[in-house]
Every structure is written in C-alpha cells, then in structure tokens.
Structure 1
Amino acid sequence: MHGYANPARFLRLARLLTAPLLVGGLVIAGLSLAWGLFGAPAEALQGDSVRILFIHVPAAWLGMGGWSAIAVASLTELVWRHPLAGIAARAVALPGAVFAALCLVTGSLWGRPAWGTWWVWDGRLTSMLVLLFLYLAYIALADAATRDGQGQSRIPAIFGLVGAVNIPIIHFSVLWWNSLHQPPSIAMGKSEMAAPFLLGLLAATVGFSLIFGGVVLARMRAILADQQAEARLRRRAMEAVDA
C-alpha cells in the first residue's frame, strides 16, 4: 500500500488510468442507457417508468460506495498515516455527493408514478437524504481544514469513519422498517430481475463506476497539483524574505 505513497509514482499511474476510465465509462454507460431507453421492454406493472432504474440504482450504489471509500481512506489515514489517504477521501466526496443527489432526484421522479407522491419520509429515503447531508458536511470540514493550513487534520477523517454508520442503515432500512421502497431485487447469488433489466443494470453500474473512478483520480491529481503549487509559493516567499 505504501508503494504508492510517493506522489510522483502515484501521479504516473493516475495519468495512465484517468482517460481510459473516463472514456470507457462514458461508452459503457451510454450504451447501457441507450439499451434502457430503447431496447429493454416495458415492465408489466410499472410500464416505461421502470427505465429510470438504469440511472437510479447505480447512483444509489455509488452514493453508498463513495462514503464507504471515504471511511476506508479515513481509517487508513488515522491508523497508517498514508499520505495519500486524506487526499483520496477528499477526492471521493464531491462525486459521491453528486451520485447521492442523483439517486434522490431519480428516486423522486420514479416515486411519483409508482407511489403517487414525490417523497415519503420512510427509512430508505430519509437515510439516503442524511447521506447527502453527510457528504456536504464532510466537504465543508475538509475545505475548512485546507484553508486553515491543516490539510492533514484528523477531524474530517474521524467524521468520515463516524458517518459510515449510516451505510448499513440505508442498506437494511427496507428490511427493518415498513417502507414503500421495494426490498432489494438483487442479493448474493440470486436476482429477481428479468435478464434484459439485470444485464443492462450491471452494464450501467460498471460504466458509472468507471466514470466515478476516473473523476476521483482526476480530482486527486488536481489536489496534489494545488498542494505542490502552494509549497513552491511558500518556498519562494521564504527565499524572498531571507534575501
């Protein structure tokens, strides 16, 4: 793990992977969404409104997966003091928040024809909304630490770990409480989805995951570039004072 702690080594790998991840993700996601719109059949009960699942479900998974990545990076930062862990967590936060928001918006659009309402305060929807607020709070904490010159502050990392408590709540909410939201259609080793929906959904998830990975790498590169530029400016300022 510490083999990539060197920023120069990490940047070489990130430059190689960023464009292929983004391009591959856009192609796969685009094809899967085209299939969802024009190829997949209408569902027997929900009709054409079910097609939104090709965006909604990957967005939900990546919203939760993003915070799981923040929690892992935060643990790595706190325990092993990996120099890139905090940067990785900061890089994940914004795309994770975007996917969490996209999940809520598409879920609302899907809920209107399915439930007859845009929103209900049930366990799944409420805990997903809490996740979005957690993302926004983490972004604010990380930005504040950076502005104060405390880029390695432990507070965002601790918050990232504590916020992970919400992930199992989101996952099990439809099982723990009475909910309008349907139970999981995909479980370990089995699926209740018909093949045209399942295969398209898996492809969409792969595509959006590749985009997510490419965006995270691009953001990590940008954060490192900002830190290196700031370090150079500080060195020049100190040299000017000494002169």
Structure 2
Amino acid sequence: MRWLHQFGSLPYFYRISRPLAWSLAIPGLMLAAYGIYGGLVLAPTDYQQGDAFRILYIHVPSAWLSLFGYTSMAVAGFVALVWRLKLAEIFLIAAAPVGASFTFLALVTGSIWGKPMWGTWWVWDARLTSELILLFLYLGIIALHNAIESPRTAARACALLAVVGVINVPIIHYSVEWWNTLHQGPTVTRFGKPAMEMDMLIPLLSAALGFTLIFGWLTLWGMRVQLLWRERRSRWVGRMVAGNSDA
C-alpha cells in the first residue's frame, strides 16, 4: 500500500517515469522491429492471400492498440471520476493522441489490405464503421480537452466521454460475429488452435507486444509533458527547474 501511495504522488511518478519509459522503449522497438521484419521478410507467403497478407503485421497490432488504448483510458476515466486521482486524469489525456494514431494506422492499413482482398478501399462494414467511430471518440476527447480552459474540468469531461464511449469497444471486437461483414473473423484469439502457422504467428505476437510497449513508452512521455504543464506553478516543479534536476 505504501508503494501504491508513492506511485500516486506526482513528484515521485515524474522521477521514475523517465527510466520506466526507456525500459519500455528499448524492448518495444526491438520486438516491433523483429515482428515486422519476420512478417515482411521471413514469414512464408499465404496460400490464399499471397504477399498481400503481410500488412497484417502492422494492421493487427495497430488495431489491438486502438482497443487496448481506449479501454485503458476508460478505466483511468472511471478512476478519475470516482477517486479524483490526478495521475489518472493525466494518463487519460496523454494516451488519447497515441491511441488515435494507432487507430488511424489501423484504418489506413486495413484499407490497403482491403483493396486487393475485397476490390475496394472502403466499405461501410460493421467492423470498419465502428473502428472509424472509435477514431472520432479519440479525436473528441482531444478536442474536448483543448476546448476547456480548466485542466481538472477538462479532464473530468474527457473521463466521462471515455467511460461512455467504451461501449464501442466490444461492438468492434464482436462485430464480425454479430453481423455479416466482409472483415475476416478472429484468427489469433479464436478458441482452440489459432488459424496461423507458428512461423507466421510468432512474428505477429512479437509485433503486437512491441507495439504495446511502444504505446506505454509514448504515453509515459506524454504524461511527463502534461504533468509539468499542469503542475508548473507548484513548488516541486519550481525547485526542480531551478536546480535543473531530472528536467
């Protein structure tokens, strides 16, 4: 419990956030590089989709991060609304642009993948439409935060939107099972044996884990920026800047 209270302290979090961010960045970049190289170069050609399937090594991790990012923001939003924890508010705001970037990447790579598979860049498919709505939710949180002058009021409004909007996450995940869509069904997360050979699956899992660590790295750096801006008038920030300590 003492460690938990320490982690909730803004000065303590700022001190540990830099080494924590680098501990995520280095393995994240290495895993992502191996996963993408293994998928684009080492993995065998798919017998149905040919080499066009290789874009999934970027598309699938990006799509996973779009859902994971928003879900984590909704959890942080709930904590911020109930317990008024500043660190949860800061995480919510810092994670939004990172999650929006991965969501946009998922939509773009999905369109590139869909062109040779479906013969079109875009269809108003249940999975694609709900993923596009997720991007709008991310952008709405970013816009709402920038539109409200008071940081705490803005954070509470963003937290409420994140909690309400999380209903879209299960809709995205189960859309291919609930409706008749062009998007293929689950491949890795299906019950039983995944519908991929191990020499294809291992690079994909490596890329997904690497992208997840990169998400954490970028979010931590964003939290450091948000924390300094929000606490710029506090004594501990003033002392840190005056002493040029860990700035």
Q: Same fold (TM over 0.5)?
A: yes
Q: Where in structure 2 are the equivalents of 1:1-243 lying within 5 Å?
A: 1-145=4-148, 148-153=149-154, 154-186=156-188, 187-188=190-191, 190-231=193-234
Runs of 4+ in 1 over 3 A off after TM superposition: none
Deviations 1:183-204 (A, max 9, x none): 1112255311111111111000
Taking structure 2 as the reference length, the TM-score comes to 0.90
Q: Shift in Å at residue 228 of structure 1?
A: 2.6
User: What letter matches 1:66 in structure 2?
Assistant: G
Deviations 1:118-142 (A, max 9, x none): 0110100000000001100011111
SS at match of 1:86: helix
Q: Tell me, in whole angstroms, the C-alpha distance in 1 between the residues paired with 2:139 and 2:219.
A: 17
SS at match of 1:50: helix
Q: Tell me, in whole angstroms, the C-alpha distance in 2 between the residues paired with 1:150 and 1:40.
A: 48
Contact 2:151 2:230 in 1 (8 A): no
Q: Tell me, in whole angstroms, the C-alpha distance in 2 between the residues paired with 1:40 and 1:88.
A: 36
User: 135-144 or 101-110: which moved more?
Assistant: 135-144
Q: Tell me, in whole angstroms, the C-alpha distance in 1 between the residues paired with 2:96 and 2:132.
A: 15
Q: Tell me, in whole angstroms, the C-alpha distance in 2 between the residues paired with 1:79 and 1:2.
A: 17
Q: Shift in Å at residue 99 of structure 1?
A: 0.3
Q: Shift in Å at residue 89 of structure 1?
A: 0.4
Structure 1 residues without counterparts, runs of 5 or longer: 236-243
Q: Shift in Å at residue 7 of structure 1?
A: 0.7
Deviations 1:172-216 (A, max 9, x none): 100111100011112255311111111111000011111100001
Q: Tell me, in whole angstroms, the C-alpha distance in 2 between the residues paired with 1:151 and 1:124.
A: 34
Aligned residues: 231
User: What letter matches 1:16 in structure 2?
Assistant: P
Q: Shift in Å at residue 231 of structure 1?
A: 4.7
- Aligned-pair identity in percent equals 48
